[in-house]
Amino acid sequence: MSHHKIKDGDIIFQTSLSGQSKAIRLATHSTYSHCGIVYKKGRELYVFEAVEPVKLTPLSEWIARGEGGKFAIRRLKNRGKILTPAVLEKMKQVENSFAGKHYDIYFDWSDDNIYCSELVWKVYKEATGLEIGQLEKLRNFDLSSDIVKQKLKERYGDHIPLDENVISPASIYNSELLKPVN
């Protein structure tokens, strides 16, 4: 897909090559384990993403980091009405408040540290009032596979926060407010 079709505020997804990617895919039954929001700065496209730390990454670099260089784009169905220049400006302000924060390995819902889909969800919620994707509890995911169990044990020991609010890349990807671009 050519980059000129991508617009400010689009949400981009990939299968990341991180150690936790497989666990996330198994737990959420989705191909995608990482996501971010695309922005134009000057003539270049960037992805605002929660890695370590939360930052803007050039789009080409972001795509190259994913499995097989594959990615998918989702866009608000009524983008033109909602993502006015003022709202896009507000999104950037909200993002500035998150920039530089640490990546959240515990998937905690507080704003102290942030993970990828939490960042996308919170930026959209604060700037537009929309909830892109359903919040779920950790216990609602498929925690049956050994890879997922091992990752949970690694992170939390015996105290898995099963009632923590979680937003997954899969939930954002499947949101009825979005449409596929590619």
Largest CA-CA distance found in the chain, in angstroms, rounded: 49
Looking only at the bridges linking them, the beta strands covering 54-58 and 136-137 are: unpaired
CATH 3.90.1720.10 fits 7-180, yes or no: yes
pLDDT in single tens digits along all 182 residues of the chain: 556 689 999 999 999 988 889 999 999 999 999 999 999 888 899 999 999 999 999 999 999 999 999 999 999 999 999 999 999 999 999 999 999 999 998 889 999 999 999 999 999 999 999 999 999 999 999 999 999 999 999 999 999 999 999 999 999 999 999 999 96
